Amino acid sequence: MYVQFRLARAKISWIMQRVVPGELGFGSPRRVLLLLFGAVALVVYAPAWARQQDLTQPGTRCWFTGLNALPHEEPQASKSTIPVLPRTGSAAREQAAGDNTDKASPQLLANQIGEALAKGDTTSVRKLLPEFLTAPRLPADTLLRTGASLAQQDLYSEAAKVFERCVKDFPQFFEGYYNLALAELALRQFPAALNTLAKAPRTTESGEVARTYLRGKIEAAMGRNEEAERHLAAAFAAAPTEENYALDLGLFYFRVHDYQRALAVFQKATSVVKDSSFLQLGLGLGQFLGGRPAEAIETCRSLLAVQPNFSPARVMMAFALYEQGRVEEAESTAAQGLRETNPSAYLSYLHAICLYKLQSHDYDLMLNDLGAAAQAIPRCSLCYVALSKVHQGKGERKIAMADLQKAVSLDPSLPEAWYRLSVLYELAGQADRARNARRRFEELKANKANKETEMLRDLFVESLGNE
């Protein structure tokens, strides 16, 4: 059984921490979109959303699930939520031998670990794990399932120990090595992950494609871009219908800001995989960053026609409309999303900036939206810049000043925040502070072009970065 876990939260956490807004607006379109794309990943990969999915279905995505066996191989039906790759030959005989042994105690321990995980009781999990790992004659599937369950709860170190036991007891099974390499990747143990992957025994043709793909993921995380591109592209070329391969290659091209190649990947992928919301979302992002916002809007509109509650598409559509100057439509799109269950905080941000752009005097609504966004979005300096504008509109200059001070404390490279601070300091008679803020603004303004280049390069450098 191949186990593939998603590192989406880690993938996007640095996006929200590194966004640099535009000079005098709410942020340059690409900067804010890439900030908002964090919302896309958060909603897509949120554990609560994932638990609502049937994880036994091919294509299901969550934090850590079965990898649909391998491309072109159907998983075996199972009572577990993690698909099992059917075993053949020596693997099947080995598994059968394990099934004929007394495995009540190991299975009981595995069940207890699963129950503790379901309750979020990590203390009990850690108490049970040593006994589980020293139990004799643990079946391979029990090890793989338990490791998967641990990783679903972000317990990657514990999962790695389970997979290490699997590799030790079943060195002939490729799956154990593959999953151990994934756990080491999650722990940012990149050389170890590559070494584990290299030790894995030769497997089927599709298994070797999976090895190439994972090697590319690890190399991308290490910043070895030339090798990463070669291996990710090879995996995608060999199995263009495998969603993971398309997504990771497309995200790689976003990371190196090669938007046209990213767009080409998602165009090809969506032409052969018609029903993947995530590939469609990647297509929309590629269209927007590739300078085709009208197409991005229509892609998101099509997604929402099929999945009206797909919040990531609504976030992207609302921002694309806003960037095109269709602010009333953007506001309506964001407002509709906010009426859904568990709306994205980024929709609150978008709704507020649209209302402000439309010169709304509903200050309380805007402040409520922005307050919710600032609380939910990590280090959202843009939220505080927007709050300062609303507070200043209400005539609350001191509060607006405090908002801007918070913004520059979160991100000292915000030119707009320094500019607005210089104005408020001057109005408050704080001449020295006004001069310093103005000087800081001028420094950042002069470096704007370089800052933009750095931002675009850095946003996706750590595609598997830690929070």
| DSSP letters for 61-84 | --SEEE--SSTT-PPBP-SSSS-B
Helix (H), strand (E) at residue 3: strand 3-5
- The answer to whether 7 and 251 have CB atoms below 8 angstroms apart is no
Position 95 scores a pLDDT of 47
CA distance linking residue 349 with residue 377, whole number of Å = 10
Residue 198 lies in a domain: yes
Query: Could you tell me the pLDDT band of residue 76, with boundaries at 50, 70 and 90?
Result: very low
Q: What is the pLDDT of residues 450-464, one digit of tens each?
A: 333 333 333 322 322
Query: In total, how many domains does the chain have?
Result: 1
Whether 41 contacts 63, CB under 8 Å: no
Residue 131: inside a domain: yes
Asked whether 150 and 121 are in contact (CB, 8 A), the reply is: no
Residue 66 β-bridge partners: 3
Q: Return the DSSP state at 136.
A: S
Q: State the residue range of the domain holding 133.
A: 74-203
| Rounded Cα gap, residues 197 and 216, in angstroms | 11
- Cα–Cα distance measured from residue 22 to residue 4, given in angstroms and rounded to the nearest whole number: 38
Cβ atoms of residues 255 and 461 within 8 Å: yes
Between 151 and 105, whose confidence is greater?
Answer: 151
Contact 203, 235 (CB under 8 A): no
SS3 content of the chain, % helix, strand, coil (to 5): 70, 0, 30
- Terminal Cα distance for the chain, rounded: 29
Radius of gyration over alpha carbons of the chain, in Å?
24
| Long-range Cβ pairs for the range 54-57 (8 Å, 24+) | 55/81, 55/82, 55/83, 56/81, 56/83
Better-scored residue on pLDDT, 161 or 458: 161
Closest among 340, 315, 341, 344 to 330, alpha carbons compared: 315
Residue-level pLDDT at 444: 87
Would 16 be classed as within a structural domain?
Answer: no
Q: Which of 76-90, 297-311, 362-376 has the lowest mean pLDDT?
A: 76-90
Has residue 422 been placed in a domain?
A: no
Give the per-residue pLDDT at 447. 58
196 in a structural domain:
yes
Residue 453, both tokens: 């280049």
Quote the DSSP letter at residue 87. Answer: P
Contacts 24+ apart (CB under 8 A), 117-124: 117/149, 117/150, 117/152, 117/153, 120/153, 122/153, 122/155
Report the C-alpha gap between 311 and 38 in whole angstroms: 12
Distance (Å, whole) CA 281 – CA 343: 17
What pLDDT does residue 391 have? 97
DSSP annotation string for 180-202: HHHHHHHTT-HHHHHHHHHHSPP
Write the CATH number for 89.
1.25.40.10
Residue 126 lies in a domain: yes
pLDDT for residue 309: 86
Contact between 289 and 323 (Cβ < 8 Å): no
In a domain, 212, yes or no: no
Domain membership of residue 143 (yes or no) is yes
Q: How do residues 10-68 score in pLDDT, each as one tens digit? A: 333 322 233 223 323 334 434 333 443 433 333 333 333 233 333 223 232 222 333 33
**pLDDT reading at 427 higher than 70:** yes
Average pLDDT value over all residues in the chain = 78
**DSSP 8-class letter at 248:** H
Q: What does the pLDDT look like over 202-224, one tens digit per residue? A: 989 999 999 999 999 999 999 99
